[in-house]
Amino acid sequence: MSVDVTESMLTRFASNCDATSVTSALAAACTRYEINTPRRLTHFLGHIYHESSGFTRLHENLDYRAERLIQVWPNRFPSLQKAAPYAHNPTALANYVYGGRLGNTGPEDGWRYRGRGFIQLTGKENYRAASGWSGLDLIENPEQAAEFNGAAHIAAAFWVHKGLNAVAELPDEDDAIRQETELINGGTLGLAERRSAIARARTIWA
């Protein structure tokens, strides 16, 4: 049984998002990548809802107070004095904390390839990999990942790249959700919240 994503349905599921823009983007991406059964769709939407704060976060928030920088990156910011130049300075912070890793080699790569999209793609090597499985040129135009159509396209392509359509259809749904979570982020971070979001999606689309 095929299922659709409509604006009224998405509004019920994610009331704080730009439902008009997000619906159009998700509907196109789900059709393209055959996320088109109740299990596939509810699992996909539940995970992406969790990853993107309800389809509202398209850019990584790098605007931190100095005190918070010490908490988030204690090895890089062992003191307020060290953290002060990067407080409320997102560009400098991204270039510092992401520079020289995740495939970033240029002095501005940390900022250029900061977290974007519904799955918070981060780092030049991840943008390059995503270019391969999404068909988008994200190295030359990384901002595509923070546009609704690009964010939905990348998220759906990632879902299929990881084989998650098949996982979503496993007989044991609880096991399927756990496996999906591990394939998405390498562990079970946010598992309870993901289960809750998928359960809510099920009341709308199943």
| pLDDT digits 0-9 by tens, 16-71 | 999 999 999 999 999 999 999 999 999 999 999 999 999 999 999 999 999 999 99
Cβ–Cβ < 8 Å for 70, 64 = no
pLDDT of residue 171: 96
Cβ–Cβ < 8 Å for 167, 161 = no
**Alpha carbon distance 98, 190 (integer Å):** 24
The pLDDT of 76-99, averaged and rounded, is 98
Q: Could you identify the residue written with the tokens 């190295």? A: 139
pLDDT of residue 2: 61
Is it the case that residue 90 has pLDDT exceeding 90? Answer: yes
| Distance between first and last Cα of the chain | 10
Cβ–Cβ < 8 Å for 67, 73 = no
DSSP 8-state class, residue 140: T
The pLDDT of 72-94, averaged and rounded, is 97
Q: Confidence band (pLDDT; 50, 70, 90) for 119?
A: very high
b/e burial code for range 113-150 (CB count within 10 A of at least 16 → b): bbbbbbbbbbbbebbebbbeebebebeeebebbbbbbb
Q: What is the pLDDT of residues 129-186, one digit of tens each?
A: 999 999 999 999 999 999 999 999 999 999 999 999 999 999 999 999 999 999 999 9
pLDDT of residue 53: 96
Furthest CA-CA distance within the chain: 59
Is it the case that residue 1 has pLDDT exceeding 80? Answer: no
**183: amino acid identity, one letter:** L
pLDDT of residue 57: 95
